[in-house]
């Protein structure tokens, strides 16, 4: 692999990662907010709703969702040479 194609791969992967992480962070805060709402406002249901396994599942679904949504950056972004 030459430097140009390596830069192209890094650019595409970087864009996908940047947008996925940005989306993921917002929705992770929303998930934590919902969990806190359940614990504070519905304390009798909290023990059955708020479990570690469910939290890990929600995080995995969020990662999969946002990587899938932003996967198009692999095909739609790239580097261009511009003469100045």
Give 75 or 58, the one with higher predicted confidence: 58
Is residue 28 one of the residues assigned to a domain? Answer: yes
Contact assessment for residue 11 and residue 80, using Cβ atoms and an 8 Å cutoff = no
Is residue 7 one of the residues assigned to a domain? Answer: yes
Range of the domain at 29: 3-73
Angle between helices 52-69 and 3-41 (to 10 degrees): 140
Is residue 42 one of the residues assigned to a domain? Answer: yes
Mean pLDDT on 60-84: 88
Is residue 84 one of the residues assigned to a domain? Answer: no
What pLDDT, on the 0 to 100 scale, is given for residue 9?
83
Predicted confidence (pLDDT) at residue 18 exceeds the cutoff of 80: yes
Predicted confidence (pLDDT) at residue 65 exceeds the cutoff of 80: yes
What pLDDT, on the 0 to 100 scale, is given for residue 4?
64
Q: What domain count does the chain have?
A: 1
CA-based nearest residue to 59, from 16, 30, 17: 30
């Amino acid at each position: 692999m030459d430097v140009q194609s390596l830069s192209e791969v890094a650019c595409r992967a970087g864009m996908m990662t940047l947008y996925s992480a940005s989306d993921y962070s917002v929705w992770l805060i929303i998930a934590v907010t919902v969990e806190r709402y359940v614990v504070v406002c519905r304390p009798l249901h909290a023990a059955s709703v708020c479990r570690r396994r469910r939290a890990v599942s929600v995080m995995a679904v969020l990662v999969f969702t946002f990587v899938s949504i932003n996967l198009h950056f692999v095909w739609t972004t790239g580097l261009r040479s511009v003469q100045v």
